[in-house]
Amino acid sequence: MLKPSQCYFHIDYDSDISCSIVTIVPIAYWTTNNCMLDEELDIELPEYLDQEMESTFLTTEDEVKVRHDLLSLGFKENKDFSAFMNESSDEDI
């Protein structure tokens, strides 16, 4: 089981579905590959996060609460991972 402190997270809000989207990647995997891990994660998460697909979770909770809760558990934010995720979502448009 991964520890939250071993993972980066990114939050984005999708107004089309009125949900916050949380994406999580193990730090070691990100450091080596600079991309998402396409596997389910065995990790402690807030109960309100529903798994949408591998490493991606949805919630109707607001971004501020989600960020606070993830940071409190030990997850980390990373500007490079967030930039990668923002670029990936821009490509979907």
pLDDT tens digits, residue range 14-67?
Answer: 999 999 999 999 999 999 999 999 988 999 999 999 999 999 999 999 999 999
pLDDT, residue 69, reads: 98
CB atoms within 10 A of CB 9: 24
pLDDT at 6 over 50: yes
This prediction's pTM: 0.90
Look-up of token digits 């967030």? 82
The whole-angstrom separation of Cα 5 and Cα 90 is 28
Distance in angstroms between the alpha carbons of the first and the last residue of the chain: 35
